Structure 1
Amino acid sequence: MSSRTRRSVVAATALALVAGLSTAGASASTDGGTQWNAAWAASPQRPSTGFTPNWSEAGFDHHTLRQVVRVTQGGDRARIRLSNAYGASPLRVEGATVARTQGTKGAAVEKGTLRRLTFGGKRSVTVPAGGQLSSDAAALGLDRFDSVTVTLRLARTTGPATFHAQSFATSYRAAGDHLTDTGGGAFGESTESWYYLSGVDVRGERPARRDGVVLFGDSITDGFGSSADGNRRWSDALAERLAAAGAPRPVVNSGIGGNLVLNDSAWFGDKSSTRFARDVTELPNARTVVVLEGVNDIGFSETDKPVYKPAPVVTAKQLINGHRKLIRAARAKGLKVVGATLVPFGGSDHYGERAAAVSDAFNTWVRTSGEYDGYVDFDKALADPKDPERIRPAYDSGDHLHPNDAGYRAMARAVDLKAL
């Protein structure tokens, strides 16, 4: 019997449902002397057209929704967090399950691992409009870097759905009730977004250290340009590097494509200071946050794309003051806060003489001010030696703004692990 199977059998004979219905966040991070770790996360967004086709504006009606994520921490119990932050009406979930994923792609799950989730001991739950909540604990043994499939039964009309627009992972939908299917044959529709699911937490028998790392930022943190279904974001690369170095820690991704430090956007989420508590400081067992954000604030006014118009012209001082708010918010909750220089973006649609000057001034502040507890120099790590204003060609996804898989690995290598 494998260690994973043995762990699952032991857990299944124990108390399978141990945590009651609760609001998600730091206040619900402890239970029975053990602590929950945020092992995966996605930042909720308003329903919108987005960059690629998705189901957020139409919502769901008599559907079963299946979503696949990868956890960066193991444990013998798991729970999910659901968000209806931008719902105009209560969200009724008729049933939910969690299981280990079968294979590397598709909607099938490993037989024998599917667990029904409960919420306050009940199999169905209503998430209030604007609200969020956690499931009870389920006895499911998970190893670090396991893929987890979460299935939601949405039997009623949901209306527009709170979602995370750019998942770079495939989610699946089936008409009717397929909540407990182990095969994926019924799930004939797919998109690359996550819906309602904002977190997967794990815990073990012993109290966990408070050592979670949260990466906070925009599309570069979100993973734009990485391989779909490959888990090749820089958050994935950092978690893998920590594990390989013998210092494994949960690493979660709180990036939103297009996000801004100073302004809200219908497509790109609430501004950084508005969402920082929800997406960083309230996550279970968060200890360190790495902030990489600002290129959209200074670059949207350079682009001719109508994604954010009229875009304000942002100065280096304004951007720095926005980051100072994040520093204060992190420290107020006892988090270590690490800053990051903006990556080179010469040749992209965000680039211009003014944006370049602001980026240089901001990066100098990150390196020299000492206001962050530490910093990561992504500008230096990704720069083309022949033209430091641009990303090195080997790291460029093709738009001269976002790294590719190799670029995201280079970002992870640039981090001084001691700084975390």
Structure 2
Amino acid sequence: MATAFDYDNTSGRPPGVVMRVLSAVLPGVASVGSQTQPYAAAWRAGNAAALAADGPGADPLWVALGDSMTQGIGASAPDRGWVGQLADHLAAAGRPHRVVNLAVTGARVQDVIDQQLPALRDLLDAGLAPDLVTVVIGSNDVVSPRWRSGLTERFSVLLDGLPDGAVVANLPNPHREARRVEALLRQREGEGRLVVADMRAHGPRSWRGKLAADTFHPNDAGYAAMAHVFDVALGLAQPR
């Protein structure tokens, strides 16, 4: 159980040069960026509470992997991101889950491999097999030429570390590497190894009115749209 209580939802990396410059000149970027530490602390506390509730009759476990969007950065509160909203939808459908959120703001695919998958394996080794595993990652890779190269290969390593049946979001970005990741996800889905949460087909057609003050992260409405994509993947809703 050490992982459950000791896991840190931060990367330890300082903000990059671009983020520091934007935060200095754009109040919206600074405002949203200021959520990073308190939201990470909120999930760390929530994770401990979720794991402490383990035992006969406990709700099944959901482990969420990802980056700032899975932490809910940009939302009005940590539980108003897509994870919190989907948790509400699952509960309303009679399928409540305890959430362990391993996401880290700024995470790239390699960070999930290096930090989040080992934590998931520790939970499995402790006999805490999740009923649901979700993954939203890759946006921080695909927007940067430095990290875009080799993205599909890193994604393949990540997928190899997931339990069968994990629900993995695709990347709506039109870049060629995102399309290669899409092909990999569809191949794995065809093999019955994962379920694709299809952000391309079921995500919002427009982000107008759905972005936080930094104009990058979703706001509550944007996260509601992301939660709907997972609703569809989990059979809670029909596509709009």
TM-score, normalization: structure 1?
A: 0.43
- Give the Cα–Cα distance (whole angstroms) in 1 for the partners of residues 207 and 38 of structure 2: 23
Aligned partner of 1:23 in structure 2 is 2
**Between structures 1 and 2, the one with greater strand share:** 1
CA shift for structure 1 position 48: 4.3
Between the aligned partners of 2:161 and 2:55, the Cα distance in structure 1 is 31
- Structure 1 residue 232, shift from structure 2 partner: 0.7
Secondary structure class of the residue paired with 1:258:
coil
Q: What is the alpha-carbon distance in structure 1 between the residues aligned to residue 89 and residue 8 of structure 2?
A: 21
RMSD: 3.4
Contact 2:8 2:44 in 1 (8 A): no
1:206 aligned partner: 56
Cα distance in structure 2, aligned partners of 1:324 and 1:362: 9
CA distance, structure 2, for counterparts of residue 245 and residue 42 of structure 1: 31
1:68-127 deviations in Å (ceiling 9; x for gaps): xxxxxxxxxxxxxxxxxxxxxxxxxxxxxxxxxxxxxxxxxxxxxxxxxxxxxxxxxxxx
* 2:231 aligned with 1:410: no
Give the C-alpha shift of residue 49 in structure 1: 6.5
Match of 2:108 in 1: 260
Pairing 1:156-235 to 2, within 5 Å after superposition: 166-167=36-37, 169=39, 199-200=48-49, 201-203=51-53, 206-208=56-58, 211-227=60-76, 229=77, 231-235=79-83
The answer for the alignment partner of 1:395 in structure 2 is: 210
Q: How many residues align?
A: 209
TM-score (norm 2): 0.70
Residues 300 and 49 from structure 1, CA distance in 2 versus in 1: closer, same or farther, beyond 3 angstroms? closer
Query: Does 2:96 match 1:248?
Result: yes
Taking the TM superposition and a 5 Å limit, the aligned residue runs for 1:240-319 are 240-262=88-110, 271-283=111-123, 284-301=128-145, 312-315=146-149, 318-319=150-151
Q: Find the structure with the greater CA-based Rg.
A: 1
Deviation, 1:261, is: 1.2
Shift in Å at residue 313 of structure 1? 4.8
Q: Is the 8 A contact 2:102 2:116 kept in 1?
A: no
Cα separation, 2, equivalents of 1:323 and 1:239: 26
User: Which structure's residues are more often helix, by fraction?
Assistant: 2
Change (3 A) 1:252 1:379: farther
Percent identity between the aligned chains?
A: 24
CA deviation after TM superposition for structure 1 residue 286, in Å: 2.2
SS at match of 1:216: strand
Say whether the 8 Å CA contact 1:276–1:326 is kept in structure 2.
Answer: no
Q: Which runs of 5+ in 2 are unaligned?
A: 21-34
Unaligned runs of 5+ in 1: 1-21, 26-37, 53-164, 170-191, 263-270, 302-311, 345-354, 385-390
CA distance in 2, matches of 1:223, 1:195: 10
